[in-house]
Amino acid sequence: MDAKIVIKDFNLYYGKKQAIEGFNLSIPRNEIFSLFGPAGSGITSLLRAMNRLSDLTPDLRVEGDILLDGKSIFAPDLSMTALRRRVGMVFDVPTPLPLSIFENIAYGPRLQSKKSKAALQDIAEQALRAAALWEDVKDRLQAPAMSLSGGQQQRLCIARVLALQPEVILLDRPCSGLDPISTAKIEESLIELKKNLTVVIAPHSTQQAGRIADRVAFMLLGKLIEDGTSEDVFMQPKDQRTNDYITGRFG
């Protein structure tokens, strides 16, 4: 297996409280990888650690390592902005910036390097197409992003990350609170996206994990219980706790 991300003996603490414990996991390239488990399992903490947004939380401490293409993301000489461009993130609530639709997307690439207006138009169109939003907004790119519906806003956030051409995209319950049609559109675009990048998603339901993920990992109380291909984990779970969770006996 060609691993894009390797998590090694990873521990994460909020003050004295341990949120992730002895975590080891490999996430392969160009696949959709789904981390699932009940709330409070440390999934969000783990995702936030992968592009070091966790640094914003005071009193947060990590041990162990996370490797991206074999290099530690905790290396002291690593540029935080470069890391976050390589590893993009989409949050559970849509977070468009208070700008126009076009500006939301053009904004990141423009800061990255000087680009002509035409190039930015191109980038925006590609990103919006990839996030299945282009048809909805092509006639009103200058409208404020806040005027979009919740599902459209979330696809805009995905497009915004894609415009930076990341290698990995992290999605933290991106479809919670969205209607089934928006959810289906986002799932379709994720399946399309894995050709070019690695997708790590915390789904809002185990069904979603089953629908789109190539591999899954079940987490419980900050520990990895088991991981493997979706078929293996969902059809023949090795661990009793995984079985209980996916058959709905708890959680």
Partner 1 sequence: MKKFKEKLSGLAFLVLALSSISVLLLITVFIVVQGASSIGREGLLNFVFGMKWAPSQDIYGIFPMIVGTLSVTLGAAIVGVPIGLCTSIFLAEFAPPFLRNIFRPAIQLLAAIPSVVYGFVGILFVVPFIRNFLGGPGLSILAASIVLGVMILPTVISICEVSLLSLPRQYKEGALALGLTRWQSILHVQLPAAKSGIVAAIILGIGRAVGETMAVIMVVGNATAMPESILDSVRTLTTNIGIEMGYAFGEHQEALFATGIILFVMIMIINGLAQSVVRRKSK
Instruction: Pick from 43, 157, 190, 213 the residue near partner 1 by CB under 8 A.
Output: 157
Instruction: Pick from 60, 107, 119, 126 the residue near partner 1 by CB under 8 A.
Output: 107
Check binding of 108 to partner 1 (CB under 8 A): yes
Check binding of 220 to partner 1 (CB under 8 A): no
> How many Cβ atoms are within 10 Å of 26's Cβ, its own excluded?
17
Nearer to partner 1, 3 or 97 (CB): 97
What ranges make up the beta strands (E) of 101-222?
168-172, 198-202, 215-220
Label residue 1 exposed, middle or buried (CB < 10 Å: 0-12, 13-18, 19+): exposed
Nearer to partner 1, 112 or 126 (CB): 112
Q: Which residues of 126-163 are buried (b: 16+ CB within 10 A; e: fewer)?
A: bbbbbbbbbebbeeebeeebeebeebbbbbbbbbbbbb
Mark 55-94 with x for binding to partner 1 (rule: CB under 8 A) and - for no binding. -x-x----------------------xx-xx--xx-x-x-
Dihedral of the alpha carbons of 195, 199, 201, 203, in degrees to the nearest 10:
0
Q: Is 87 helix (H, G, I), strand (E, B) or coil?
A: strand
Instruction: Pick from 112, 121, 126, 176 the residue near partner 1 by CB under 8 A.
Output: 112
Check binding of 164 to partner 1 (CB under 8 A): yes
Binding site for partner 1 (CB under 8 A): 51, 53, 56, 58, 81-82, 84-85, 88-89, 91, 93, 95, 97-99, 107-108, 111-112, 157, 160-161, 164
